[in-house]
Amino acid sequence: MVDCFGLVCYPFAMEQVFWNTGNGHSYKQTDFPLLDLAEIPGPDFFRLVAEVNGGLLYLASPYRSSWRITDSQARRRREQVIDLTDRLLDAGVWAFSPIAYGSAFEDRGHEHDSRWWMRRDFEFFKHCDLLAVYCLKGWEDSPGVNKEIDWALTTNKPVLLIEE
């Protein structure tokens, strides 16, 4: 039995972590390593490769932020995330992006609410080795990104911040 931000969680019952509403902490001030991936390959890219160590990276990023942004801003974020995911995969980093994955569903007209997506994203997250947060404008205020950081902290997975 472990303490998961005020909830009692059992290591085999990760579903309790998913339903955690968060610890109320803002991750703006958290001291996670910040990597600049403007240059691949470059020094920060090699640090990322060392951190992943052949495992699977979960790429968190803001998207709709509970519908507080315009459709055009959401499309731009989606394009940026897909481009970074492609660059990482091309460079040999195994990366899973829920935005890149989910955009195909959206393109086909399959609309789901954030609760539906977060439930599925958590299932993928459980198989990843570390969390990388793509620091697009507004990432600190994204409910989804904050939830994903909570998952990483609760499951003791490393968290890295990525910018370009």
Task: Read off the pLDDT of residues 59-112 as tens digits, 9 standing for 90 and up.
Answer: 999 987 665 788 898 899 999 999 999 999 999 999 999 999 887 777 778 887
pLDDT-based confidence at residue 19 (cuts at 50, 70, 90): very low
Q: Answer yes or no: is pLDDT of 128 > 90.
A: yes
**pTM metric for this prediction:** 0.80
Higher pLDDT, 106 or 3: 106
What is the structure's pLDDT at 90? Answer: 94
Query: For residue 46, how many other CB atoms are within 10 A of its CB?
Result: 12
Write down all domains in the chain, each with its CATH number in brackets: 34-163 (3.40.50.10400)
- Burial, 29: exposed, middle or buried (Cβ in 10 Å; 0-12, 13-18, 19+)? exposed
State the DSSP string of 86-147.
HHHHHTT-EEE-HHHHHHHHHHTT----HHHHHHHHHHHHTT-SEEEEE--TTGGG-HHHHH
Q: Average pLDDT for residues 111-122, to the nearest whole number?
A: 85
Give the chain's mean pLDDT: 81
Considering just the CA atoms, what is the radius of gyration of the chain in Å?
15
The total of other beta-carbon atoms located within 10 Å of residue 82's CB is 15
In this predicted model, what pLDDT tens digit does every residue of 136-155 receive, in sequence order? 998 988 889 999 999 999 99
> pLDDT: is 14 or 52 the higher one?
52
CA distance 132 to 31: 14
Pair 131, 157: CB distance under 8 Å: yes
Measured distance CA(20)–CA(33) in Å, rounded: 25
